[in-house]
Amino acid sequence: MSALLAALRISRRSIIRAKARSALIIVMIGLPVLAVTAVLTFSATENLRPEERLTMDLGAADAKLTDTGAAGPIRQDATGYDWRPRKDGGSPRSRAEILALAGPGSRIIPMNSGSAEYWTGTAYGFAQVLEVDLRDPMAGAMFPLVRGGYPQAADEVVVTDSMEPAVGSTLRYTRDDVPKRVVGTVVSQPGNRRRAIIGLPGSLNPGSGVTDAERSWLLDAPAPVTWTETRRFNQAGVTVLSRAVLENPPPVGGGPDQAVEEPGTRSTITRSGVLAAVSGVTLAVLEVVLLAGPAFAVGLRRRRRELALITAQGGSARHLRLVVLADGLTLGLAAAVLGAALGIAVARGIVAWAGIWPAGGLGAFEIPFGQIVLVAALAVVSGVAAAVVPAVQAARADAVAALAGRRVEARDRTGWPLLGLVLLAAGAGAMVYGVRSTDAVVLFGAVLGLLGLVMVTPWLIRRIGGLAGGFPLPLRLAVRDASRNRGRTAPAVVAVLAAAAAFSTVAVGVASSERASEEYYRPAYPTGTTAIHGDDVTEESWKEIRQIVDRTLPGVPLVETYRPIDAKGRTVDFRARDGKCSRCMTSTGPLNEIPVGGPDLLRLLLGRTDRAAEAALAEGKAVVFNPKAIRDGRLRLRTWTRGSDQEKEQVLTVPAVLVTVPGPFNVRGVLPVAAITRAGFIPKLSHLLVDPAVASLTPEQEQRLSGPVRAVTPNVAVETERGVRRNRADRVTGIMWVMAGLASLVVLGGTLTASGLAAADARPDLDTLSAVGARPLTRRLVAAGQATVVAGFGVPLGLLAGLVPGLALASQVSLRRDAEREIALNGVPFEKLGVILSVPWQTLLVVGIGLPLLAALIAMASARTRVTPTRRLG
């Protein structure tokens, strides 16, 4: 222990003397700690636990009782949100029955909840709906007032402050446009009550206008509602959210007096999850070790005289190792503490800006100390691990040579190339196997491959020393210096290699995903078609939009398409009813699966005039592009009404004719207007299309048209079909730039650290060159050469190494997409495209050449040219 304390004192003094180097190591280790701590702290604050939501869910009540409608006894979890068995057949409990269950001295008030539609001014939107008397002290704290007052009558409501209606305005409630006067605004709650309409009990009709209605009561009991009381309510089919139970939760298990376990509360630990976690931690620690290791080696070179003095005074090799490891422990601990503290401070600042409920949408500031301690411990381990190799080198150093000022030649091994090759082969095999398995196996294979490269790289660096004979002098000196000092060069090269490999992996994955999107893409309309479309747009708005289009595109005819709606204005969708064609009428585009229109729409979709098909459409027959959808000359469609809770299947049968279209297409056919009116539906205008054969809009013209149209209503979009790249190119480019930036930071950090170490070691040689007439430019060129060796060797090799996991992950995604996608197009099932791969060679070439050049320029600009005479002895 005394040796450790002495080593820590020596380490502390050394850190104070070498402030710049120490700060560099602390930043390398502490930045990941800062980022992870900030994310963990903000996430813990944002995710509200049930006990943190007590005021939002209960107000000042002791408990909330919810009628499940179950016929017999139930069991619930501690919150009452999950209960079983879920059996129907019971009858709703009356207020008197609930009050009788609550017992003498209790008081209850009803609180019913669900969701419903309301008119936003341009369309119908959904909001949570609550029936509760907020004037009661039991409920008022759930929704504090912002302005106005609470409802006093059945035609009055309050809305949350995240909604549009202002105090004093009239709210059109549900599709029946029931008028409700907005008398106040209340504070929004996080989660599904962010947009809420609240009225008095019985005023919002939960049984008709609200879906998924829940009948509850807030309970003011003479004594706390314990778990025993909760189980008594459960016997009557009533769940309980109790303040007392959440403050003292029951045990979870299968016993009759234990709580049902909430879904997702028990972590499901799988082998893949463990493998991914171990691989991720290993990668993080290894990258920190590779980046900080050369910085510790810099300190070792500059402290060799101090360490030699310790040896001369009786210090053993163990003592020297302990001194260097104490550096790693001290700096790792400092980085962990500073990173964690700054991460908490960053999260606290974000929480203060966002606000804590009721002033904002977050919960009380919460610090997950357990998780942060684990992250900090990982940082300390990384610091100690980064100092291991320098500690071993310090124990082997020649004390006499160090005291005499001679160059200390550390015994550099050539690594373990054979074991490294074995690990590389095992990693490649794991990644190939991971293509048919999981992402975790691919990640594990990447870790094995990186460990193999760590072992092989010193051997490779030694081999490049023999190639330096024909290089210019500065580069020849740099290459031979790197070959002689593999102990400090190899970690920097592998760190640079790992960063470049990560970029290459992501680049291949993004490029392959982009190419797969292109292969799978099917246009919503014929290429070049401009569509003006939207849901819940009134006839008055469509009239204004027509006038705008006529002014912008004078004389251009517009093709109309319709959506069927029911008598309440709800949109009706169609699906093929035939089991052999269960998905052949499905579309993923904004145009309906089988739109309703006339001959002009048919001509637009076909790209030609088909007199027979137009005649059939005029006769009320459907024109279908998929032969599997027609049976016995008829098209059978299952109708589904959006927002309807009816489960009865309705079938629409329409006479149909088949027309062949070239190539796969998103639209499956055209229904005549007469077919839907005969079925009792109402045609509602949904699209105005501009035929590209008549007018093809440029992006500028589309923008000029979109502005005035969206000024009428924001529920209308104007878009021109130009293919998949129009929407994705900017996002893909942005991802590439972000990854390139992160990779550049790691590459430049590792390269410049290794260059600084090389410059410190080569200072006597450079001074000798200056003494015999070398210009300052020569010293700068040598520094540039040292950076070029590290980055020029690590970046290209890393980019090539990253192709393997990148291609493996992209292959896995392609195979998974093929297995999941079963869409039939034009009567032919969607072809399985197999493995879709794409390597962005141009991007990789730019990074592979540009990063080493940038590192060389920075090293050359920051190189020291001042000559320091060196005294040599012996």
CA-wise closest residue to 65 among 112, 117, 14: 112
| Averaged pLDDT for residues 723-728 | 55
So what's the pLDDT on residue 762?
66
Check: CB of residue 488 under 8 Å from CB of residue 754.
yes
Residue 236 is predicted with a pLDDT of 86
3-state secondary structure of 240: strand
Give CA–CA dist 662/526, Å, rounded: 11
652-663 confidence digits (pLDDT tens): 888 989 887 766
Which stretches of 504-571 are assigned E, i.e. beta strand?
530-534, 559-565
Cα–Cα distance measured from residue 284 to residue 593, given in angstroms and rounded to the nearest whole number: 48
Q: Which residue has the higher pLDDT, 300 or 528?
A: 528
Lowest mean pLDDT among 16-20, 540-544, 691-695, 814-818: 814-818
Give the pLDDT score at 207: 45
Residues 6+ apart with CB under 8 A from 698: none
Residues 202-229: tens digit of each pLDDT: 888 754 444 457 889 999 999 999 998 9
Q: How many CB atoms lie within 10 A of CB 241?
A: 26
Is 0.95 surpassed by the pTM of this model?
no
Owner of token pair 């601990």: 333
The whole-number pLDDT of residue 726 equals: 47
Residue 581, pLDDT > 60, answer no
**Which tens digits make up the pLDDT trace of 764-783?**
667 777 777 777 788 788 88
Amino acid at 498: A
State residue 829's pLDDT score.
42
Is the separation of the CB atoms in 791 and 847 below 8 Å?
A: no
pLDDT (average), residues 640-657? 70
What percentage of the chain has pLDDT greater than the value 90?
12
Residue 270 pLDDT greater than 70, yes or no: no
**What is residue 816's predicted lDDT score, i.e. its pLDDT?**
63
Highest mean pLDDT among 372-376, 382-386, 510-514: 372-376
The helix, strand and coil proportions of the chain, stated in percent and rounded to the nearest 5, come to 50, 15, 30
Residues 6+ apart with CB under 8 A from 266: none
Average pLDDT, rounded, for the chain: 79
What's the 3-state SS for 593-612?
Answer: CCCEECHHHHHHHHCCCCHH
Q: What is the DSSP string of 414-440?
A: ---HHHHHHHHHHHHHHHHHHHTS-HH
Task: Kindly tell me if the per-residue pLDDT of 345 is higher than 60.
Answer: yes
3-state SS class at 396 = helix
What type of residue is 314?
G
| Closest residue by Cα to residue 744 from 496, 485, 403 | 496
Sorting pLDDT into bands at 50, 70 and 90, what band is 337? Answer: very high
Euclidean distance between the first and the last CA atom of the chain, given in angstroms as a whole number: 38
For the ranges 118-122, 292-296, 365-369, 405-409, the one whose mean pLDDT is highest: 365-369
pLDDT digits (tens, 9 = 90+) for 620-629: 898 888 777 7
Res 861 pLDDT > 90: no
pLDDT of 256: 63
- Nearest alpha carbon to residue 433 among 547, 656, 664, 275: 275
- If one compares 132 and 712, the residue with the highest pLDDT of the two is 132
Mean pLDDT of 398-424: 69
* Antiparallel, parallel or unpaired: β 156-160 and 178-186: parallel
Report d(CA 849, CA 596) in Å as an integer: 56
**One-letter amino acid for residue 856 of the chain:** A
Single out the residue of 501, 498, 499, 521 nearest to residue 509, CA to CA. Answer: 501
Element (H, E) at 829: strand 828-829
The closest of 57, 199, 216 to 116, measured between CA atoms, is: 199
pLDDT tens for each residue of 806-860: 888 778 766 666 555 544 333 334 445 567 778 888 888 888 898 889 888 888 8
- Quick one: pLDDT at residue 216? 92
Question: Residue 259: how many CA atoms within 13 Å on its side-chain side?
Answer: 25
Instruction: Quote the CA–CA distance of 80 and 63 in Å, as a whole number.
Output: 11
Burial of 340 (0-12, 13-18, 19+ CB in 10 A): buried
pLDDT at 111: 92
Q: Say how many CA atoms lie within 13 Å of 110 toward its Cβ.
A: 21
What angle do the packed helices 725-761 and 841-862 form, to 10 degrees?
Answer: 30
Looking at 52-66, 103-117, 490-504, 574-588, which range is the least confident one? 574-588
Which one is predicted more confidently, 446 or 582?
A: 446
pLDDT in tens, 518-567: 777 767 778 888 889 887 788 888 999 999 988 888 888 899 988 888 87
pLDDT of residue 826: 37
User: What residue spans define the domains of the chain?
Assistant: 530-723
Percentage above 70 pLDDT, the chain: 82
Is the per-residue pLDDT at 184 higher than 90? Answer: yes
Supply φ then ψ for residue 641, to 5 degrees. -100, 120
